[in-house]
Amino acid sequence: MMDYLERLLFHGKLNRTARIILVLAGLAFFIAIALPLWQMTMISNQFPEGLRVRIYPYKLEGDLQEINILNHYVGMATLDAEFFPELQLLPLIFAGGGLLTLLTAGLGYRWLASEVLLGGGLASALSTTILIYRLYSYGHNLDPMAPIDIDPFMPPPLGVNQLANFHVTTFFHIGTAVFALGLIGIIAALWVSRPLAEQRPGDQASGSVPRVLMSR
């Protein structure tokens, strides 16, 4: 099994279908740059239309001024692009990933596709961690001089909570989905051009997998 996995990920080259998929995946990474990754929607009685913050790979957008004015009463930091310095790096990472994916489509090395996949996975994990960390500090570093004292809190990166009079909903947006599709594309590329399994004595234990593969 491990042996097969090694061949699947690192040995040989990708077929034509896989390369086409990789081109699409690479484009997905580029497209994701222009799309929102995450959104927070705050609805209250006096804001029935809601206040919104969207995080794009390169910018923060939404009702930032209003949210910042409201939040200054409870001493929360000003939410702006400076609050997320990562936003200067994220588009480069996305574009780099896109370029490497297109390069992989051109060169066709399986190992390169695997490395790009690994990098994309790491980038996703890192971004999510950063988001959680930023949200944590947003809810915890409260100005002690603020007019209204509130207890520090953790804004959930995904889900629903109540903050004073606001009903807050957060979720990962379309950009995250497109980015994820890119990663899935790489997996799909590796899969559609997977090597034929050779029966080896050592593979007996993992039985059914090769049989299914051979049936193609």
Partner 1 sequence: MKRNTWIVRFALIALCSLVLAACNAPAAQNQPGVAGAEEAALMTYVPGGKLDEYYMFSSGGHSGQVFVYGIPSMRRIRTLNVFTTDPATGYGYSEETREMMQGFTWGDTHHPALSETGGEYDGRWLFINDNANSRIARINLQTFQTEQILGPIANLAGLHGGPFTTPNTEYVFGATRFSIPLPRDSFVPLEEYAEKYFAPVAGIKVDPQSGEMNVAWEVLLPPINLDLADAGKKDSDGWIFFSSYNAEMAYEKLEVNASQNDRDFIVALNWKAAEAAAAAGEGELSEGVQMLDPRKTPGIAYLIPVAKSPHGADVSPDGKYLVASGKLASQTTVYGFAEMQQAIAAADFEAEFWGLPVLNYNKVRIVEVPVGNGPLHTQFDDKGFAYTSLFVDSAVAKWRMSPPWDVVDTVPIQYNVGHIAAAEGDSISPDGRWLVSLNKFAKDRYLSVGPSKPESLQLIDISGDKMKVVYDAPVDLEPHYAQIIKADKLTVLDIYAKDETRPNSVWAPDQARIERDGKEVRVYMLAVRSHFTPEQIEVNQGDHVTIYVTNIEQTIDESHGLGHRRLRYQRADRPGRDQNGHVHRR
The residues that touch partner 1, with contacts defined as CB under 8 A, are 39, 41, 43-46, 48-50, 52, 145-148, 160, 164-165, 167, 169, 171, 173-174, 177
Three-state secondary-structure class, residue 167? strand
Beta bridge partners of 54: 39, 61
Closest to partner 1 by CB, 43 vs 126, is 43
Cβ–Cβ under 8 Å, residues 83 and 68: no
Q: Give min distance, CB of 124 to partner 1, in A.
A: 19
Closest to partner 1 by CB, 35 vs 99, is 35
Q: Give min distance, CB of 95 to partner 1, in A.
A: 25
Distance CA 201, CA 216 (A): 21
Rounded to 10 degrees, the C-alpha dihedral 112/118/122/127 comes to: 70
Q: Give min distance, CB of 37 to partner 1, in A.
A: 13
Distance CA 29, CA 135 (A): 25
Beta bridge partners of 61: 54
Distances (CA, A) of 109 to 15, 27, 98, 123: 10, 18, 16, 21
Q: Give min distance, CB of 29 to partner 1, in A.
A: 19
Closest to partner 1 by CB, 108 vs 139, is 139
Q: Give min distance, CB of 71 to partner 1, in A.
A: 13
Closest to partner 1 by CB, 175 vs 210, is 175
Residue 196: what are its φ and ψ, rounded to 5°?
-65, 140
